[in-house]
Amino acid sequence: MSLLDVSIVSVALPSMQKGLDTSPAQIQWVVSGYALAFGLALVPAGRLGDALGRRRMFLLALSGFVLFSALAGAAPTAELLVAARLAQGFAAGALAPQNSGLIQDLFRGGERGRAFGFFGATVGISTAVGPVIGGLILAAFGEDDGWRWIFYVNVPIGAVALLLAARLLPKTRSDRPRGPIDVVGVGLLGGAVLAVMLPLVQAESGGIARLWWLFPVGVALAVAFVLWERREVRRGREPLLDLRLVTDTPGYAAGAALGTVYFVGFSGIWLVFAIFFQAGLGYTPLESGLAVTPFALGSAVSALLGGRLVERFGRLLTVIGLTAVAVGLGTTALVLATVDPSIAGGAIIAPMLLAGVGGGLVISPNVTMTLRCVPVRMAGSAGGALQTGQRIGAAIGSAALAGIFYAVLTSSGGRYPLAVGIALGSAVVMVLVALLIGVLEWRAGRARAGGAGAPDVEPADTAHVHH
């Protein structure tokens, strides 16, 4: 639900704007405010899960998400809708790192890989099918008030999830005394993430040109955050994010970088597809969503398969997946740029399916390989930091690829096929950068595991386990 709500709302923005009689810039905050709050909450919420217990944080965050979904659906004005979406985004960001932390807590070895396989399949499906589900809900409930049901649908699903979580999630005890939360670290990291993401999520309304000065501010705050966290470690205190995760944990830094770069390319394509099919070819929101469904289907199947194979093949799996994504998206870009627009939707089924199969072999195996050597006591903050990178990558990708699309469209005199081809080609470049990182980490993993011929799979961490 939390990831679906990033993309599902996009198709309903026109009907929201009409129903609430507001401006495009204000209604855009329904999407960008959610993404911003989501990104801000991830690392602090992961650290809170480490300290207070992941089951407790999961139940609290899920309760908040359900409540704020209901408030968003019932909002009588645009201002209250944006406020509800900000709160919903914070709840979603608090929920997300508990997922990977619980998997770290409860599973080991091959079981952990399969659990991350289900997790990765959920990430891939929910990110890709948002436009389809949004289109279906609008078609079922009508243009005027259908957008409200995009939020209301979370309430019964969330209520069932709460009951199941309360019953099924085991109570775990912290493996050491709780330390005070690093409030200064929270402020510095939150300021850095806000400064980087705010211009990006406001890109459509000229945010980058207006707020460019926030980027150097974000870099300065990030540097201050690193210095502060090192100071906390030297003083023997509990940091918000232990930087030894990056320097001393095999595979973590490379995996986090790979995930961030991949999401720049992966997340930005959905907005480009929506603009191309709806504005360029006149598709309905539902038809536009169905055109990219092959990616979601391929991703769902291969993510489950990847979870089973990651113990055997390790980082090689992400290398294979990224290669397939690059080939599939590259072919899609060529097809859309050259074929007759009347057959565009059907012509991309095969390459989008290939890209989806590759995508399923990227996300869940990368999460597994990135977090496999992380001590369980750091699992929440490590998972939160990994997903923060992905959220920032998604914000950069959505802003950059849409910007490239519109720039080419304007300069070419409205040639939609050329614009979509170049925008998707830019996404392929980012996937190739992620592939380079994956190849380098695969080779480093083989060296760590004892030379050529040995898989780059290291023993799962078995410390700090409590049943």
Highest mean pLDDT, choosing among 2-6, 181-185, 374-378, 425-429 = 425-429
Instruction: Give the C-alpha separation, 288 to 151, whole Å.
Output: 21
Q: Measured between alpha carbons, how far is residue 278 from residues 134, 274, 362, 405 in Å?
A: 14, 6, 29, 14
pLDDT digits (tens, 9 = 90+) for 335-368: 998 888 888 888 999 999 999 999 888 887 888 8
Which phi and psi angles does 89 have, rounded to 5°? -65, -40
Nearest CA-CA partner of 32 in 465, 398, 301:
398
How many CB atoms within 10 Å of residue 43?
27
CB 397 within 8 A of CB 267: yes
Structure tokens at 26: 């204000």
**Considering only 135-144, 185-194, 414-423, 450-459, which range has the smallest mean pLDDT?**
450-459
Block residue for tokens 């003083």: 235
**Cβ within 8 Å of residue 420, ≥6 positions away:** 272, 273, 276, 280, 333, 336, 337, 405
Distance separating the N- and C-terminal Cα atoms of the chain = 28
Q: State the pLDDT at residue 459.
A: 43
Confidence grade of residue 438 (pLDDT, cut at 50, 70, 90): very high
Q: What is the dihedral of CA 148, 149, 151, 156, to 10 degrees?
A: 140
Q: State the pLDDT at residue 410.
A: 83
Instruction: Give the C-alpha separation, 168 to 435, whole Å.
Output: 38
Residue 448 is inside which H or E element, if any? Answer: helix 416-448
Instruction: Give the C-alpha separation, 63 to 60, whole Å.
Output: 5
Nearest CA-CA partner of 374 in 105, 27, 145:
105
CB 438 within 8 A of CB 258: yes
Instruction: Give the C-alpha separation, 286 to 296, whole Å.
Output: 15
Instruction: Give the C-alpha separation, 120 to 397, whole Å.
Output: 20
Give the number of C-alpha atoms closer than 13 A to the C-alpha of residue 299, restricted to the C-beta side.
27
DSSP for 354-391 reads HHHHHHHTTHHHHHHHHHTTS-GGGHHHHHHHHHHHHH
How many CB atoms within 10 Å of residue 411?
10
CB 362 within 8 A of CB 17: no
Q: Measured between alpha carbons, how far is residue 6 from residues 1, 129, 273, 462 in Å?
A: 9, 11, 16, 35
Nearest CA-CA partner of 103 in 379, 459, 315:
379
Higher pLDDT, residue 132 or 317: 317
Q: State the pLDDT at residue 436.
A: 95
pLDDT digits (tens, 9 = 90+) for 72-125: 999 888 889 989 999 999 899 899 888 878 887 888 777 877 787 778 777 767
pLDDT digits (tens, 9 = 90+) for 65-86: 999 999 999 988 888 998 999 9
